[in-house]
Structure 1
Amino acid sequence: MLSTSNGDLAARWTRLRGERPALRIRDAAATLGVGEAELVALGVGRTATPLASDWRALLNDLPSVGRVMCLTRNEHCVHERHGRFDDVQVSGPHGVVLGPDIDLRLFLSNWRYGFAVREPLKSGERLSLQFFDASGEAVHKIYATDETDRPAFDALIARYRAAAPVAMEISPRAPGAPDRPDAEIDVEGLRTAWRAMKDTHQFFGMLGKFKVGRVQALRLAGEEFSRELPARALRSAIEAAGADGTPIMIFVGNRGCIQIHTGPVKRLVETQGWFNVLDPTFNLHLRDSGVVRVFSVRKPTDDGIVTSIEAFDDRDRNVLLMFGERKPGKPELEQWRALVARIEKQAAS
């Protein structure tokens, strides 16, 4: 276990910032072999304020601060969405935010540390709430913007400031269990259960029932349900949606949060190995090299087939999920199905 009281870490980070001033804090933490939370905690008393871990109450109070920018990321993809915290619902370790702009699925059992962070900039101060898991990895961040009620944001920080210093111990994340051999999977049973699904949320229960990994299931299910595509197909699908205005849903998540964009994407830009959506209320930053496997996937529901494009990295971790815009009780957009069919045809040619 590691502790942020290590004075050597502060010296190492100061030296690293001098050598690479543009390095982002997540990458600095990886370079130094520590959790990002440890670097944030070095600023306690100056740039960082520890927060009490009453996540339910804090989340329920967030509508009071007005519009913010929410950021959720994994190793290869960053999802940024502007809007208000509306319709916040927290029950035990699970929470959802179901506003028209901020749409989140929260897994609060993996939220361990929280800080209010004030970063000095040439143009002023950047204020945020940042939440981390037990390994020190950021699970969710909420940034004040020009549209935020700053007095309300400051009042929220004061209200949830930790009463005592946070004793931080970082536990490296245990590696995930490897998939069972394909020969041990009941493939026909898996396909039968898949065919009987009534809701997309049943998919995860099905994986557990058959003790099969997600990518493993996509490989074994057969073309009735899943087709592997070239890695470039994910980017092609986003570009196609941008070109024809197909409204889509983009899910990006980690162990503590899944963040969802619903709507069109318009301004698509490539910069130094990253493929970006740079729209006024939605930004996406996708590291092309991180996407190793892509599948088109079809799941039966009471509303008809629901089609997705799912991307994974070299360790079979999900990078991004993409759907056509839809609501429960309504069938999938034919425009989205046609888009996926075009992507599959391109891949086959």
Structure 2
Amino acid sequence: MKLTAADIRALRADDPKSRERDFAEKHKLSEAQLLAAYTGHGVTRIKSDIDKLMAVAEGLGEVMALTRNASCVHEKVGRYGNYRGGGHAAMVFNREIDLRMFPSHWQHAFMVEKQLDNGMRRSIQVFDAAGDAVHKIFLRESSDLNVWKSAQVALSTDVQSPELSVEPRVPTEPAKYAPENVENLRERWSRMTDSHQFMMFSKKLGMNRLGAYRCVGEPWTRRLRPEAINQALTLAAQDGIQVMVFVGNRGCIQIHSGPVQNLRSMGPWQNVLDPGFDLHLRLDHIAEVWSATKPSAKGDVVSVEAFDKDGMLIAMMFGTGPEWDVNDRPRWDAMVAELPGLQEEMA
């Protein structure tokens, strides 16, 4: 039987402490449908126009930006700025909040006011067509409430229904190979002048990221043990190596550039709890970890990348490069070279 908005609110009242994502999955809802049920009860449905949302985000001042997937949550405190729009891809490019966004997946948006024990929590939350979270913006004490209130009026949609229809979730594409193109892949890989070229030519050759990694082999890729991503975090913290940590979903990728310092394990989660940056990584979801070396005009770019059992990219790590204050790529590269490999024949 389909749950009504009133049913959802009643169930939530009996289970107020579960995380939104966990509660939604338990009751076979999307997270967006859970929020929509509270329309008129602290929730306002708003336009999902990325240009307008980023203009509001810039005006709010200091906020917390959150991007996640099923296995990792990435949180950054700072200000939005230097927004560059685009039909296929858009970006916010600064040291505090660094985002790569894909507007076609910004389908449902809400402004949320939720009363907590320590006060009112306000957020802008964006979801894809399946109702999965794409990006969230949480206000902080210093955020501009006048901008918030104006946006509630300016961005409000004509339809404020507590019912929300969503599309089926698109499954993760498993590792995709084209064995007949492996030599071509290796040749093109060796001629890369920008690491961003990788996705374009691998797709043209009939492969995706994980499939290409499995095919191309050394010296370009090396399979590591599943615990290697956690070891990379730990060693970077111990040695003071500044890193770039990418976490994303189909609609948004969020990047931290700088140190990782305070690591704290809690059950299956490894957590980075630093001023201005939190990371929450489910280690038990990691099935494969790869080190990938991609040539560029400014030297090789070395990553450590974690995937789940379905082939979904959970998180990526790099050393910070010369575009930031500290070029820690040489120290990062040396550290990655010492991470334990996994010698295994791949199908």
Into which bin does the TM-score normalised by the smaller protein fall?
over 0.9
Q: Cα 1:106–1:181, aligned 2, differ >3 Å: closer, same or farther?
A: closer
Distance 1:65 1:267 in 2: 28
Native 8 Å contact 1:51 1:160 kept in 2: yes
Which string of whole-angstrom CA distances, capped at 9 and with x for unpartnered residues, describes residues 280-305 of structure 1? 10000001111110011100010111
| Within-5 A mapping of 1:1-349 | 7-8=3-4, 10-12=6-8, 14-15=10-11, 17-18=13-14, 20-165=15-160, 168-179=164-175, 184-327=179-322, 333-344=329-340
Q: Cα 1:177–1:235, aligned 2, differ >3 Å: closer, same or farther?
A: closer
Native 8 Å contact 2:33 2:131 kept in 1: yes
Native 8 Å contact 1:291 1:314 kept in 2: yes
Pairwise CA distance, 1:316: 0.5
Larger deviation, residues 213-222 vs 148-157: 148-157
Q: Cα 1:160–1:180, aligned 2, differ >3 Å: closer, same or farther?
A: closer
Distance 1:326 1:231 in 2: 25
Native 8 Å contact 1:306 1:332 kept in 2: no
Distance 1:298 1:94 in 2: 25
Return structure 1 stretches of 4+ with deviation > 4 angstroms: 176-182, 327-332
Native 8 Å contact 1:185 1:210 kept in 2: no
Native 8 Å contact 1:297 1:309 kept in 2: yes
Native 8 Å contact 2:8 2:37 kept in 1: no
Which string of whole-angstrom CA distances, capped at 9 and with x for unpartnered residues, describes residues 223-259 of structure 1? 1100001110000000000001100000000011000
Larger deviation, residues 261-270 vs 46-55: 46-55
Pairwise CA distance, 1:180: 5.0
Aligned pairs, number: 341
Pairwise CA distance, 1:138: 0.7
Pairwise CA distance, 1:28: 0.9
Amino acid at match of 1:333: R
Native 8 Å contact 1:118 1:127 kept in 2: yes
How well do the aligned residues superpose, as a CA RMSD in angstroms? 2.1
The 3-state SS of whatever aligns with 1:91 is coil
Which string of whole-angstrom CA distances, capped at 9 and with x for unpartnered residues, describes residues 211-231 of structure 1? 112211111111110000111
Larger deviation, residues 88-97 vs 188-197: 88-97
Native 8 Å contact 2:105 2:251 kept in 1: yes
Distance 1:109 1:24 in 2: 27
Pairwise CA distance, 1:10: 3.7
Q: Which runs of 5+ in 1 are unaligned?
A: none
The 3-state SS of whatever aligns with 2:334 is helix
Amino acid at match of 1:126: R
The 3-state SS of whatever aligns with 2:338 is helix
Q: Cα 1:14–1:251, aligned 2, differ >3 Å: closer, same or farther?
A: same
Amino acid at match of 1:114: A
Task: Name the TM-score, length of structure 2 as normaliser.
Answer: 0.92
Distance 2:284 2:176 in 1: 27
Distance 1:81 1:16 in 2: 28
Pairwise CA distance, 1:321: 0.5
The 3-state SS of whatever aligns with 1:343 is coil
Amino acid at match of 1:293: E
Task: Name the TM-score, length of structure 1 as normaliser.
Answer: 0.92
